[in-house]
């Protein structure tokens, strides 16, 4: 046996092993890039020295309120500086960040508060009614509210709660961060509806987020001092981990509260944004912007798009405008994007339509992942011929720890040593994946996941509805919207408008069906509704 078998004295110690965490990025940036612009939002412009100090003040203030390691601190915030600061400040106390979707209904927010056990929640003034209504629906007391005012956007503090700036003003800018002792410690808690009506709590660890930030730098071919525009909501996979990533390169986070074509063009022209991520609906808004919304700029903007495969026509139309698009794919369970349609120079000579078709593919594993492929129902590799279909299977460090308080769902998700995505794809001879279908009950509307089961559950409360099924209907603006097929009870009467209003009173607006069709639902011999037939009908509505 060789000398390598003798590892006497070759142990891990503080000098040669440090738990990986994205918190390290901001600690480093405060020393390496202290005077470089870190966060921008209208008149709010702070450098890395100030950014680190504000994060430290937040962490200190939270500890002063009684926040302890392992506690959960939630946010209901748009993409404003406080949301970026919370991404570092909450875990700097050893607590777990739970960024909640601002578009959810109060029932779902109440469930998330209760299931996650948040002790405090940072709430933008605009969303105070949502948070307050959610807390009234909880059996317990619910989290204590810290209000985050945004007077520049027309949301001055209400005076009902401790306001964010007042809170951090009492914090210590020299507060010593509580760094993880184990990189497997929980960093963030994100909720996804998955394939059932109740959302599942996805738990991230420090190691996965750290590696996501490093792998993204490689895939996006980033260099020092990028200027990142926050189009992806920071409640979606923590903004694909991009805010945690920016300090690696001394980059600038350009906050964007309201996602409009005008605001995107303004940020590119005035703030010289170089990168952003967004769903295909964002690309379409840029393409279809009216002349008054457009601005001239003289640099290429790098864009990651995900949420649904972008149409070839969309890609063909946007790139001449100065936006270079890379299609990426991922899930909440994978911290965001884990595949990229890595471009091959051999494809440069193809025609425009062929290039756009290839660009829309799901692609191959990003550098921080171990293996991403497609398998059959027996977890065996499918034939890579671009025809045979299989389920996308994912293995790597940027995969969640599991579902909070749901060991059965976690076990099922990890069966066979891979994370089961539920998305269906073909695989080409070069290994590139291409999604052909997705987990069939999920509707992706403007990048938001909608559970058909949840919408069906709301419809079934209507006294005239006997059976219903909800599927995705193609939509030019949103990509997909919910379409409801309803079978009424005998002699019952209702209308499309009445049912849409009925659901809107129970669910968030984006989950409301945009079309209702009355018919006798197609069923199997056992009474199961044949949703594949309804999907065909919805394609032509």
Domain extent listing, the chain: 442-539
442-539 has CATH 3.40.50.300 classification: no
Q: What is the greatest pairwise CA distance in the chain?
A: 85
Tell me the C-alpha distance between 406 and 38, whole Å: 38
Contact indicator for 322, 328 with CB cutoff of 8 Å: no
Encode 378-391: b = buried (16+ Cβ within 10 Å), e = exposed.
Answer: eeeebebeeeeebb
Strands 442-445 and 448-451, how do they pair? antiparallel
Residue 16 burial by Cβ neighbours in a 10 Å radius (0-12, 13-18, 19+): exposed
Q: Do the beta carbons of residue 459 and residue 465 sit within 8 Å?
A: yes
CB–CB of 125/158 below 8 Å? yes
526 alpha-carbon distance from chain centroid: 38
Task: Check if the beta carbon of residue 415 is closer than 8 Å to that of residue 422.
Answer: no
Pairing of strands 419-427, 369-375: unpaired
Contact 89, 122 (CB under 8 A): no
Rounded Cα distance, 493 and 504, in Å: 19
**HSE of 182, CA atoms in CB hemisphere, 13 A:** 5
CA 81 to chain centre: 18
User: CA–CA separation, 147 vs 160, rounded Å?
Assistant: 8
270: closest CA among 288, 293, 297?
Answer: 297
In this structure, are residues 334 and 299 in contact, taking their beta carbons and an 8 Å threshold?
no
Residue found under tokens 């990533």: 245
d(CA 225, CA 247): 9
CB 338 within 8 A of CB 366: yes
DSSP 12: -
| Residue whose entry in the numeric block shows the structure tokens 């994370």 | 419
Per-residue pLDDT of the chain (541 residues; tens, 9 = 90+): 465 667 788 999 999 999 999 999 999 999 999 999 999 999 999 999 999 999 999 999 999 999 999 999 999 999 999 999 999 999 999 999 999 999 888 999 999 999 999 999 999 999 999 999 999 999 989 999 999 999 999 999 999 999 999 999 999 999 999 999 999 999 999 998 644 468 999 999 999 999 999 999 999 999 999 999 999 999 999 999 999 999 999 999 999 999 999 999 999 999 999 999 998 888 888 988 999 999 999 999 999 998 767 777 788 889 999 999 999 999 999 999 999 999 999 999 999 888 988 998 999 999 999 999 999 999 999 999 998 989 999 999 999 999 999 999 999 999 999 999 988 888 999 999 998 766 566 788 888 878 777 788 889 889 898 888 999 999 988 989 999 999 998 889 999 999 999 999 989 999 999 999 999 999 754 456 788 889 999 998 8
pTM: 0.86
C-alpha to C-alpha distance for 200 and 129, rounded to whole angstroms: 24
Chain Cα centroid distance, residue 524: 36
- Return d(Cα 178, Cα 92) in angstroms, integer: 5
Q: How far apart are CA 208 and CA 202, in angstroms?
A: 13
Residue with tokens 């967004």, as numbered in its chain: 278
Please compute Rg for the chain using Cα positions. Answer: 24
């Amino acid at each position: 046996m060789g000398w390598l078998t003798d590892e006497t004295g070759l142990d891990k110690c503080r000098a040669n092993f440090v738990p990986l965490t994205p918190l390290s990025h901001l600690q480093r940036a405060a020393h390496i890039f202290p005077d470089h612009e870190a966060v921008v939002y209208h008149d709010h412009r702070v450098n890395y020295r100030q950014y680190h100090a504000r994060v430290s003040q937040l962490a200190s203030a939270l500890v002063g309120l009684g926040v302890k390691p392992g506690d959960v601190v939630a946010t209901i915030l748009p993409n404003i500086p406080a949301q970026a600061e919370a991404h570092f400040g909450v875990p700097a106390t050893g607590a777990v960040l739970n960024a909640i979707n601002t578009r959810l209904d109060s029932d779902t927010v109440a469930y998330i508060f209760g299931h996650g056990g948040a002790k405090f929640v940072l709430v933008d003034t605009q969303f105070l009614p949502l948070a307050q209504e959610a807390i009234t629906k909880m059996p317990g007391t619910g989290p204590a509210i810290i209000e985050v005012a945004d007077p520049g956007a027309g949301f001055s503090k209400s005076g009902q709660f401790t306001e964010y700036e007042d809170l951090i003003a009492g914090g210590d800018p020299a507060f010593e961060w509580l760094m993880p002792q184990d990189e497997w410690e929980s960093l963030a808690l994100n909720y996804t509806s998955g394939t059932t009506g109740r959302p599942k709590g996805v738990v991230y660890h420090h190691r996965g987020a750290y590696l996501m930030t490093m792998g993204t730098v490689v895939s996006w071919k980033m260099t020092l001092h990028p200027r990142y525009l926050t189009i992806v909501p920071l409640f979606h996979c923590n903004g694909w981990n991009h805010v945690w990533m920016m300090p690696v390169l001394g980059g600038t986070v350009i906050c964007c509260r309201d996602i409009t074509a005008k605001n995107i063009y303004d940020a590119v022209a005035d703030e010289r944004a170089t990168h952003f991520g967004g769903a295909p609906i964002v690309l379409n808004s840029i393409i279809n912007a009216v002349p008054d919304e457009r601005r001239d700029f003289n640099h290429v903007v790098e864009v990651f798009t995900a949420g649904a495969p972008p149409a070839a026509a969309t890609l063909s139309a946007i790139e001449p405008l100065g936006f270079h698009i890379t299609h990426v794919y991922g899930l909440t369970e994978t911290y965001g994007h884990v595949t990229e349609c890595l471009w091959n120079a051999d494809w440069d000579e193809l025609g425009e339509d062929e290039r756009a078709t290839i660009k829309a593919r799901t692609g191959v594993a990003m550098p921080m992942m171990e293996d991403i492929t497609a398998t059959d129902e027996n977890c065996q590799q499918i034939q890579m011929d671009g025809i045979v279909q299989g389920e996308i299977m994912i293995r790597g460090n940027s995969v969640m720890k599991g579902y909070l308080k749901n060991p059965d769902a976690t076990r099922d998700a990890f069966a066979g040593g891979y994370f089961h995505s539920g998305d269906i794809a073909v695989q080409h001879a070069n290994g590139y994946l291409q999604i052909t279908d997705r987990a069939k009950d999920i509707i992706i509307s403007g990048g938001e996941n909608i559970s058909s089961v949840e919408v069906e559950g709301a419809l079934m409360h209507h006294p005239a509805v006997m059976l219903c099924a909800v599927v995705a209907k193609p939509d030019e603006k949103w990509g997909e919207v919910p379409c409801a097929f309803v079978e009424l009870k005998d002699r019952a009467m209702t209308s499309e408008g009445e049912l849409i209003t009925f659901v809107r009173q129970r669910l968030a607006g984006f989950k409301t069906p945009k079309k209702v069709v009355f018919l006798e639902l197609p069923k199997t011999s056992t009474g199961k509704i044949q949703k594949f037939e309804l999907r065909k009908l919805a394609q032509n509505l």
